[in-house]
Chains A and B, each alone.
Chain A
Amino acid sequence: MEAEIYITLKRTVADPQGLTVEHALNSLGYQDVEEVRMGKLVIVKLNLKDKIEAEQRVDQMCKKLLANPIIEDYKFKIKG
C-alpha cells in the first residue's frame, strides 16, 4: 500500500514562493493563472493491508511529524 500525502501552507499563510511562480507564469503569457500555491508531496510505502488502518496511521503521521498544524494543511490518498 502507498500513501500520497500533500502538504500545503494554510490559506491564511502567505506563500511567497507560490506568488513568485504565479507571476512567472503570468509573464510567460498564461494570463488564465489566477493563483499558485506551492507544497510538498510525500510518498510513503506502507506494510499494511487494511485501508482504514492505513488511513488512521497516515493521519497520525501527518499530525505528529509531516505537517505543522500552525501553518500547514494536509490531505492524502491511499493507493493499492
Chain B
Amino acid sequence: MKFGIVVFPGSNCDQDCFYVVKDILNLPVEYIWHKETELDSVDCIILPGGFSYGDYLRTGAIARFSPVMDSIVDFVKKGGIVLGICNGFQILLEAGLLPGAILRNANLHFICKYAYIRAENTETPFTNLCKKSRVLKIPIAHNEGNYYIDEDGLKNLEKNRQIVFRYCSSDGEVNKEQNPNGAMGNIAGIVNRDRNVLGMMPHPERCTEQELGSEDGFLIFKSMVQWLNKRG
C-alpha cells in the first residue's frame, strides 16, 4: 500500500502529510510533483494544504488546471481514494470533484486554532474507525474556509449523506457559536457521492501525536489504511 502526496507550487503541508504516513503509519509514501501524470504506483492520494499559486484569482483555481489533475480525475473514476486538506479541499471544489465553493471567512480573519468537528457519516473510507457522532479535535488554519453551496445542493448533500464533518462544541453540539468561518450548515468536510473523495478544511496531519495536543487526526489516516486493507 502506497500513499502519494501531490506537491503544487505553494503547497506547504506536504511534508507534514509525508511525515505522518512515513513515520506514524510506517507506510511507503512518495511526493507527486503537480506536472506528473502517472499515478499507477499509488493506492491513495493526498492533496495537502498550503497556498497553491499564491491563492491568486481564487483558492485552488489555478492548481486545478495542473497536469496531475486530469490523472486524479481518472484515479477517482477508477475508485481510488483522495483526501484533500484545506487548500487541497479548495482545489477539489474548483476541479468539480466535490460540489460547492469556498468563500472568504465571514469575519474576514485568518483563523488558526483548534476546532471540534463531529463525524456525521462514519461509513466512508476516511471515517470508518470513528464511532457515530465522534467528536474530533483538529486544528484549522485558513482565510478561506467558508463553505458555500446553493439550497438545492445543500439538500442533496444531506440526502446523500455527503456531509462528513460539521464544526461543533467539545461535547458535539452543532450551533452557530461553534462555526468559525461562516460555513453553510457548519460544514467542515464533505465527500463525493461515491464516497471516495473527501475534502476537509481542518488539518488531520497536524494532530496525529499527543505531543501536538491531539491525536484525533490519526483516526482519519488509520481509517484510510483500514479501508485500503479491506479492499485488498
Contact = CB atoms under 8 A, between A and B. Distances in A.
B58 A68 contact: yes
Given A65-B65, A68-B94, A71-B148, A16 B107 contact: yes
Interface residues of B, number: 17
A76 B106 CA distance: 28
Interface in B148-175: 148-150
Interface in A1-22: 9, 12-14, 16-17, 20
Contact of B100 (A12, A16, A66, A70): A70
Contacts of B101: 68, 70-71
Interface of B: 57-58, 61-62, 65, 94, 100-101, 103-104, 106-108, 148-150, 182
Given A12-B150, A13-B148, A68 B104 contact: no
A9 B148 CA distance: 12
* Interface SS, B side: loop
Interface in A27-80: 65-66, 68, 70-71
Contacts, number: 32
A16 B94 contact: no
Interface of A: 9, 12-14, 16-17, 20, 65-66, 68, 70-71
Contacts of B57: 65-66
A14 B101 CA distance: 13
Query: 5 smallest A-B Cβ distances: which pairs?
Result: A70-B101, A71-B101, A16-B106, A68-B101, A16-B108
A68 B59 CA distance: 11
A17 B108 contact: yes
Nearest to A69: B101
A71 B103 contact: yes
Contacts of B104: 16-17
A68 B61 contact: yes
Nearest to B99: A70
Which of A16, A65, A70 has the most CB atoms of chain B within a 10 A radius of its CB? A70
Nearest to A70: B101
Given A68-B101, A70-B101, A20 B61 contact: no
